[in-house]
Amino acid sequence: MTYCYLFEARSIQHYLFRTGKLRDVVAASERLDRLIDSSEHSVLYQVLQATQLRHDLLPEHPDPDPQVRFFRCKGGAFYASSDDEETLQTLRDSWTLTFAQLYPGLEYCDALAQGESVAHAKQAALYLLAQARNFQPASLPVATTLCARAQRTGSLAVKLRHEELVDLPSWYNEQAYNHWDLRDKDGALQARFKPTGELLDTKLVEKIAFPLDLESEFPLTPRATADDPESERELHMDIALLHIDGNGMGQVLQDLDKALSDADDGVYCSAFRDFSEAMAIATQQAAQQATLWLTRRVLSEQAENSELTELLLPMRPLVLGGDDVTLLCRADLALEYTAQFCAAFEQTSRVALKPTYEVIKAANAESTFSGKLTASAGVLIQKVKHPFTHSHEMTEQLCKQAKALTKQANGTAALAFVQVSNTVSDGLDTFRARHLSCTVGEDVLHTSLGAYLLSEYGSYPTLKALNALFDLLAQECTPMTLSKWREVLTYLGMGDLAEVQRVIYRDFALNGDKAQQQKLAQAFAQLSARDKEPQESWHWQGEHGWVTPLSDLMVLEKLNRLSVKSVLAKQQPEVS
């Protein structure tokens, strides 16, 4: 008989952003990065050493006769098998006790099951794990009626930090922040985002640093001068929260499970362990390549011949585990960073998953697995002063919306983004209904397409086509400029379709260049896949009602105004 023990940490994003303070987020992300990993620095390794169980957690130095065999140990989860139930029970007891002490308030679920093989035991444990998600253990410590509460979270207060009551997780974050000297030194998570010496000059890599204070240290676009109006100063206070998640990993795991249905336990565990390690490598390499692009972009914005003692990148890594990535980024670079990551992930996953692909294809030549994975993302743009307590939830919802489009487009990478002006408190559906939809007559018009593919597939809208349309509308010779389309959005919000039609037909009449009008209609058609008259091409009937990309274009205009080149060009004195 074989036994399997499965453990998964849950609601990690909520745990990270529970206080909304970057200092706590950074420390919590570094602590979580050390939770589960196949290295001597992980908490899991320390627990195994304390229990004196023989194991194969370290790939470089596995025990020749392990009591505990791991076939997943990345991304806040681990799966372990053993021939002895008591061994796994010892691991379970020691691990959950340590976890509750070091990460209070972080949800988890676990399950222990048996079967004739590792595959059968895992399936039984997965069934119990799904049930365990509905029965969360009590989160300790529990605050009673008369207890003081932490001001930021409402949980039981345990310490007074800088004249502020904080709960136990925040106090642990403070200790970790000081113990690891995160103010002056790179954490393990940051180091994995940095480009390697093979991609970038080693001396330059050593100068790369990441900000810790959003308002005073984060390198946003050049700030406006004190003489500029308040609205102009606020223009340069936007930041983006990115959440990127891999696509199709569940299907690959199912295919791999079927391919190894008759394999012995050793081969089964080894194949799944290799897949887990390969996914971690592919994600890290993609993050490094995207950060390399960002580094080169920042260097291109530096003054010529300027000597750099430190290269402070406009991003802050928060999560890098399994196929998940979360980070903060300068708003005008967020969409391109995401596109760079997704493109790199397709290449790195193809290389890293080659052994897995060969195993699956050898067992089932008709498998739909192409040997690579894609990733989809959600990007939320907001003011840097606004709390991130609820922002991460909307970012995850945006990612889910992008993944829904990916599923329709046969796995093609996708991106969904929104820009919010006020603090986020509602879900994405409510936000879109309030701010990105309007009633015109008896119809509802959605002013955002929701999500865009990052490469072409069928007739689905792509980010490339949206950017091309934006570039066209930014030209002076276009029949209607972006300012006119903003006026159209205003009238749509008022439900005045007659005025919308008047503005559009008037501007098209004033610009009698038929070639430019047709060019604009073709640009809209790249998004709608419909041939319409130029004056009517800006909106069309979608799957869920009438749609138009006008709000998405306004976001691109905002990001363009935020860009360093745009700001510097504005600050240059006019030459007579």
Band of residue 233 on the pLDDT scale cut at 50, 70, 90: low
Mean pLDDT confidence for 420-443:
87
Same CATH topology for 2-132 and 188-435: the answer is yes
Question: Percent of the chain at pLDDT above 90?
Answer: 64
Residue 126 confidence (pLDDT) above 80: yes
The predicted structure's pLDDT at residue 172: 92
d(CA 290, CA 342): 9
Whole-number pLDDT of residue 79: 97
Residue in 388, 375, 447 with CA at minimum distance from that of residue 415: 375
| Contact present, 95 and 70 (Cβ < 8 Å) | no
Q: Is the pLDDT of residue 284 over 90?
A: yes
Name 164's bridge partners.
Answer: 161
The Cα 298–Cα 334 span in angstroms is: 13
Lowest-pLDDT range of 53-57, 156-160, 288-292 = 156-160
Q: Is the pLDDT of residue 574 over 50?
A: no
Cis bond upstream, residue 534 (ω within 30): no
| Per-residue pLDDT at 224 exceeds 60 | no
Residues in the chain: 576
Predicted confidence (pLDDT) at residue 197 exceeds the cutoff of 80: no
188-435 has CATH 3.40.50.1000 classification: no
Q: What is the bridge-based pairing of β-strands 69-74 and 77-82?
A: antiparallel
The per-residue pLDDT for 576 is 37
Which tens digits make up the pLDDT trace of 452-480?
999 999 999 999 999 999 999 999 889 99
- Under 8 Å between Cβ of 127 and 4: no
Residue with tokens 């570094």: 30
Region 250-274: mean pLDDT is 92
Q: What is the pLDDT of residues 316-373, one digit of tens each?
A: 999 998 899 999 999 999 999 999 999 999 999 999 999 999 999 998 888 889 999 9
pLDDT value of residue 570 = 52
Band the pLDDT of 229: cuts 50, 70, 90.
low
pLDDT in tens, 53-94: 999 999 888 888 999 999 999 889 999 999 999 999 999 999
| Of 83 and 307, the one with more pLDDT | 83
pLDDT at position 398 over 70: yes
Residue 277 pLDDT greater than 80, yes or no:
yes
In our burial notation (b when 16+ CB lie closer than 10 A, e otherwise), range 36-59 reads bbbeeebbbbebbeebebebbbee
The values of phi and psi at residue 312, to 5°, are -85, 110
Helix (H) or strand (E) run with residue 556 in it: helix 550-562
Per residue in 503-513, pLDDT (tens digit) is 999 988 888 78
User: According to the model, what pLDDT value does residue 186 have?
Assistant: 72
What's the pLDDT score for residue 236? 65
Beta strand pairing call for 208-209 and 311-312 = parallel
Q: Going along 276-420, which residue ranges are E strands?
A: 311-312, 315-321, 324-330, 374-383, 414-419
Inform me whether the pLDDT recorded for 303 exceeds 60.
yes
Identify the CA nearest to 391 among candidates 17, 29, 15, 26.
17
What stretches of 103-174 adopt beta strand conformation (E)?
Answer: 107-115, 157-161, 164-167
Statement: residue 245 has pLDDT above 90: yes
Average pLDDT over the chain, rounded to an integer: 89
CATH number of the structural domain 2-132? 3.30.70.1230
CA dihedral defined by 115, 120, 125, 131, rounded to 10 degrees?
Answer: -110
- Dump pLDDT digits (tens) for 560-572: 988 765 555 555 5
- What whole-number distance in Å separates Cα of residue 393 and Cα of residue 98? 28
What pLDDT does residue 226 have?
Answer: 44
What are the boundaries of each domain within the chain? Answer: 2-132, 188-435, 463-571
pLDDT at 443: 85
Tell me what pLDDT residue 271 has: 94
Confidence of residue 222 (pLDDT cuts 50, 70, 90): low
Among 28, 327, 29, residue whose Cα is nearest residue 189? 29
Each residue of 17-41: pLDDT tens digit? 988 888 889 899 999 999 999 999 9
